[in-house]
Amino acid sequence: MCAKKKKHTHDNSHITYQSLLEGNKKFIKNHLKIDPEYFEKLASGQNPPVLWIGCADSRVPANQITNTAPGEIFVHRNIANMVIHTDMSMLSVLDYAVNVLQVRHVIVTGHYGCGGVIAAISNKEFGLIDNWLRHIKDIYRVHADELDNIKDENQRCDRLVELNVIENAYNLCKTSIVQNAWKNGQLLSVHGWVYSIRTGIITDMKVSTSNNDKLDDVFKFK
Ligand code: CO
């Protein structure tokens, strides 16, 4: 799952600047055919019950892989689906999703074969992005005993993908945004998922939580 060589990369030669605009026309036509009021309804507002924090990877689009439609999932994506405490973009999305949209679920979704994790597990230098990937190396350090014992490189990488999701789900729980929601009795669950690009299957990492019981004491706001 961690293969470095691309063998059968999807042929995207038909995607051009113009084809995107043509695609938009088809999208409008198809939706209006099913429901003439489709866009009017969407324009009246959004009420998504889910916030998705996923990887920017083009193969992991939140809506398509969960069979959901526009209006159903609020989305934040970055390289390797990270929840970094000083990331104002992520925090703003989280704050808006939890406090204004009042989502019921926040899901961190990683994926096997994640380029960000593969890069982080290597000893290569990639430039600016190394500063972002450092957070993944920090997760490796915390779980080094387990990871160093996995001899197969692909398996080790897959496990780091899973641990990265689990740690970032906990990072969400550590935010004052999520803890205050719980303190105020808001129904909010945090989850961690890993998607397989090879099979299309989502695996639940079973770290779902709706209170701060699992957090180390130092992270709890009381
Ligand atoms: Co990725």
The predicted-structure confidence for 136-193, as pLDDT tens digits, reads as follows 999 999 999 999 999 999 999 999 999 999 999 999 999 999 999 999 999 999 999 9
More confident: 3 or 17: 17
Active-site position among 35, 59, 138, 152: 59
Judged on CB neighbours under 10 Å (0-12, 13-18, 19+), 67 is exposed
55 is catalytic: yes
Ligand 1 (single-atom ion) residues, CB below 5 Å: 55, 57, 114
57 is catalytic: yes
pLDDT of residue 5 exceeding 90:
no
pLDDT given for residue 1 in this prediction: 47
159 is catalytic: no
The two three-digit tokens of residue 196, written as one number: 């397989």
Question: Model-level pTM?
Answer: 0.94
Q: Hey, which CATH number is domain 46-219, 3.30.1310.10, 3.40.1050.10, 3.30.930.10, 1.10.569.10?
A: 3.40.1050.10
pLDDT of residue 102 exceeding 50:
yes
pLDDT given for residue 128 in this prediction: 96
Residues of the chain with CATH 3.40.1050.10: 46-219
